Amino acid sequence: MIDLLLRAANILSPVENAVNYTHAQDILIEGNRISAVLPTGQADPAQARQVIDAGGMIALPGLINTHCHTAMVLFRGLADDVSVDRWFNEFIWPFESNLTPEDVYWGTLLGLAEMIEAGVTTVADHYFYMDEVARAIDQAGTRGLLAWAVFSAGVPEPEKKLNETLEWIERWQGSADGRITTWLGPHAPYTCSEEFLNTVSATARRAKVGIHIHVSETQAQVEMSLKQHGRTPIALLRDAGVFESPTLLAHAAHPTPDDIQIMVKAEAGVAHCPKTYLKLASGVMNVVEVRNAGVNIGIGTDGAASNSSYDILEQTRLAALMQKHQHVNAQALPINDALHMMMTGGAKALRMPDLGAIAAGKLADVILLRTDSARMQPLINPAANVLYSAQAGDVDTVICNGKVLLQERQLLTLDKQAIVREVQSRLHRLSQRIPGQRIQTYPT
Amino acid sequence: MIDLLLRAANILSPVENAVNYTHAQDILIEGNRISAVLPTGQADPAQARQVIDAGGMIALPGLINTHCHTAMVLFRGLADDVSVDRWFNEFIWPFESNLTPEDVYWGTLLGLAEMIEAGVTTVADHYFYMDEVARAIDQAGTRGLLAWAVFSAGVPEPEKKLNETLEWIERWQGSADGRITTWLGPHAPYTCSEEFLNTVSATARRAKVGIHIHVSETQAQVEMSLKQHGRTPIALLRDAGVFESPTLLAHAAHPTPDDIQIMVKAEAGVAHCPKTYLKLASGVMNVVEVRNAGVNIGIGTDGAASNSSYDILEQTRLAALMQKHQHVNAQALPINDALHMMMTGGAKALRMPDLGAIAAGKLADVILLRTDSARMQPLINPAANVLYSAQAGDVDTVICNGKVLLQERQLLTLDKQAIVREVQSRLHRLSQRIPGQRIQTYPT
């Protein structure tokens, strides 16, 4: 028995180092996995519990957001057009001192609603009150690689906090039908001491989990590290043993040649979030060079307080456009490479090899893009249209782990109106900046 | 009697050098103009022939695309990831030699459908077979500043062609209830001799029309002009008398300080099309400097064969992001300036002062954005959400010249399915590249 049959989809999915477009395929889903992909007509719709007509639509593997602080939609529009240091010290860290667990729950639900509407089925989320984030992921039906952010700077007993996150890791690991994976989340080398990073690394090895951490987001961070530690932030992570566990590096936007070799050797994943770098004017990674060296890069959004949206199609487009611009070469990061990075790159960065492709045996995370908006026509080169023209509004259907989360653009698992009402009721309190009160201090 | 009443809209419209957000306003339309904007409740719906409930939506002045070759949607996806010179010589100019007037008509209709879906009510179009473009504009219900592209390079009797476009100008000037304005369209200084540009300028003055021309799109074009003519392309236009008529410069992306002063003195409008510059890796104008000097800049898309879409919201977002990036300053081109450029900048660039704002006496070009997609929530800072988060899919209603062109995302004046079918039937013939056959040669 087929649980879900997607009929006559045109599939865009990675094959080795390219993406391949195949016309009129039936995608068969049994349980939470794709059981077969067949030319349409070979599967019997009468044998399926549920059938969705995907004729004329483009099926992509569910999009992967490799770095986010989902609940930060609560601060969307509150800290635009400001520098990185002011963004942290004058806006975000003061705001975040107002957060309650329930705020994070409702903010995460709103952010997940936005991701589902944009075709994003998996998010690597790095934030606070992660029990609430896990509850929200469970309810939304998406997939999450979750990490609880911890600091040592200014924290009296950081190991105590780390142990609490370890309990949280055990509480949620593999839950929500396997949709939730839990990792450790030390914030960054400039908010965690080397000693604390050593402790985190040892904890990760013992618990057999990965580490999701911010690093080298700005050139100034690299220079400060060189001055204070005589090493780049990435070298410091290596020395602290971070790379002995699976590692997801948020940004790594300013690597030295040695840093690149460290990342290659560690098989570290990198989350590339170009809209955030442009908005904060913090500089864009040389993706072509780092990727050619063998570092695995996926696409992320970062939080909505910097990015303003959770749209992986927009981010991938920006990634391609910015490489062309920076290399003064229109052939830099061409369509195939950009889409491959979005799909396979994301799956590898999260160490989830069963994601990022539509093929028998893969997890059943599939989205369908409509092609009837004028911007998607004519469909001469579907991969080009997906990269350079498609928008979140073209996402019609979203399936994650075999369950339909969005159909004909309507959310099936979340009550968006109720979520927006709840979020609105919290905004006044959250937007207060109490003098001197903030969760951390960004060094300048 | 009110012809059309938009009830309870939240209006985002320019005021001096900023944009202003006003809650719950009724917009009254009589004929093709806005007759009043009043706090909701003051206008009597029973006195209106048609009422649209705009409650919870954001009203913006109809978006203005200051530079396009609309019919080039016919080549969408056919020339991506290639350099400017290959783009012209190996792809676009060979393809364009296949174009018939009917191709241009159907391509323009598809491009206009895309623009209406994205809230664009006015386009400055620069192409061939402009009788067909004018027919398409008339039918779509949008507004067009149209210019027929002419070359002198390789053309035996360019003056004859110029005289034909002059007849076309007179045939269509002020037609379609005043929605069509016709200008002269010499292609560029590198495809038109100085002598021919002199003739074009004299013709423009005699006919009392403006001139829409490409200039200084790449640094190489500037250097070639310095070598061949001892002057920049913009200085050459000045010497040829172009600026003695209203002038719309496409790109002007690489101006010298003297060029900037020439543009200021001429009150020239500039069409800034950032996605095209990124895709072609041709370099992005220093908008902050040129704008601060007093040059009027509006936002354009260029054709879909370079830009891949006709989305002015996306272009304006890219303009803001790229200035922050290039100036390494997150405060560069902030929200107010970017939206002001999109609205007032566009209207001034096209010399259409009755566009670009929602106010009594202005032409009735108004669009309504839905705010119920998750990406638009919460709506703490509506201007920020419009610039950094809104997408074409958020456009619900489009009104141009007092007529409704899009309602609840449905096109009212165009049969999109029929247009797509017609376009598809032409693609095979259009995508042939016949050896040696092209409409022009790009100098390298």
Does residue A434 surpass a pLDDT of 90?
no
What top-level class would CATH report for the domain B2-61+356-411? Answer: mainly beta
Nearest CA in chain A to B282: A328
Tokens 């590290």 -> residue? A225
Say if the Cβ atoms of A374 and B332 lie within 8 Å. no
Residues A93 and A438: their CA atoms lie apart, in Å, by 5
For residue range B202-229, what is the model confidence (pLDDT) as tens digits?
999 999 999 999 999 999 999 999 999 9
Select the residue from B116, B325, B422 to test the A interface by mutation, using most A Cβ atoms within 10 A: B325
The pLDDT of residue A438 is 87
Residues in chain A closer than 8 A to B311 (CB atoms): 375, 391
β-sheet bridge partners, residue A144: A123, A180
Domains A2-61+365-411 and A63-349 share a fold: no
For residue range B368-377, what is the model confidence (pLDDT) as tens digits?
999 999 999 9
B8 min Cα distance to partner chain A (Å): 20
Q: Are A3 and A52 in contact (CB under 8 A)?
A: no
Mean pLDDT of B274-295: 98
Tokens 């013709």 -> residue? B203
Nearest CA in chain A to B422: A378
How high is the ipTM of this complex?
0.97
The pLDDT of residue B444 is 80
Say if the Cβ atoms of B374 and A80 lie within 8 Å. no
B18 touches chain A (CB under 8 A): no
Confidence of residue B350 (pLDDT cuts 50, 70, 90): very high
Residues in chain A closer than 8 A to B74 (CB atoms): 378
Say if the Cβ atoms of A378 and B423 lie within 8 Å. yes
CB atoms within 10 A of CB A370: 17
Rounded to whole angstroms, what are the CA distances from B378 to A142, A422, A425, B394? 21, 10, 10, 15
For residue range B89-116, what is the model confidence (pLDDT) as tens digits?
999 999 999 999 999 999 999 999 999 9
The pLDDT of residue B313 is 98
Looking at chain B, the whole-number percentage of residues with pLDDT higher than 70 is 100
Does residue B437 surpass a pLDDT of 90?
no
Confidence of residue B256 (pLDDT cuts 50, 70, 90): very high
B123 touches chain A (CB under 8 A): no
Mean pLDDT of A92-108: 96
Tokens 């050139």 -> residue? A219
Of B310, B374, B388, which has the smallest distance from its Cβ to A308's Cβ? Answer: B388
B337 touches chain A (CB under 8 A): no
B400 min Cα distance to partner chain A (Å): 19
The pLDDT of residue B438 is 87
Q: For chain A, which residues make up each domain, given as ranges? A: 2-61+365-411, 63-349
For residue range A260-294, what is the model confidence (pLDDT) as tens digits?
999 999 999 999 999 999 999 999 999 999 999 99
In chain A, which among 237-296 make CB contacts under 8 A with chain B?
275, 277-281, 283-284
Rounded to whole angstroms, what are the CA distances from B107 to B137, B412, B424? 12, 18, 10
* Residue A126 tokens, joined: 């790095």
Residues in chain B closer than 8 A to A381 (CB atoms): 77-78, 80
B219 touches chain A (CB under 8 A): no
Q: Are A96 and A69 in contact (CB under 8 A)?
A: no
Report the candidate in B107, B113, B106, B98 with the shortest Cα–Cα distance to residue B69.
B107
Confidence of residue B439 (pLDDT cuts 50, 70, 90): confident
Say if the Cβ atoms of A283 and B372 lie within 8 Å. no
Does residue B436 surpass a pLDDT of 90?
no
SS3 state of residue A350: coil
The pLDDT of residue A16 is 86
Mean pLDDT of A110-124: 98
Q: Hey, which CATH number is domain A2-61+365-411, 3.30.1330.60, 2.130.10.30, 1.20.1440.230, 2.30.40.10?
A: 2.30.40.10
Cα of A340 vs its chain's centroid, Å: 15
Does residue A435 surpass a pLDDT of 90?
no
For residue range A20-56, what is the model confidence (pLDDT) as tens digits?
999 999 999 999 999 999 999 999 999 999 999 999 9
The pLDDT of residue B102 is 98
A220 min Cα distance to partner chain B (Å): 12
What top-level class would CATH report for the domain A63-349? Answer: alpha beta
Q: Where are the beta strands (DSSP E) in B253-300?
A: 269-272, 296-299
CB atoms within 10 A of CB B327: 16
A220 touches chain B (CB under 8 A): no
**B317 backbone dihedrals φ, ψ, rounded to 5°:** -60, -45
Residues in chain B closer than 8 A to A394 (CB atoms): 393
B283 min Cα distance to partner chain A (Å): 7
B7 min Cα distance to partner chain A (Å): 22
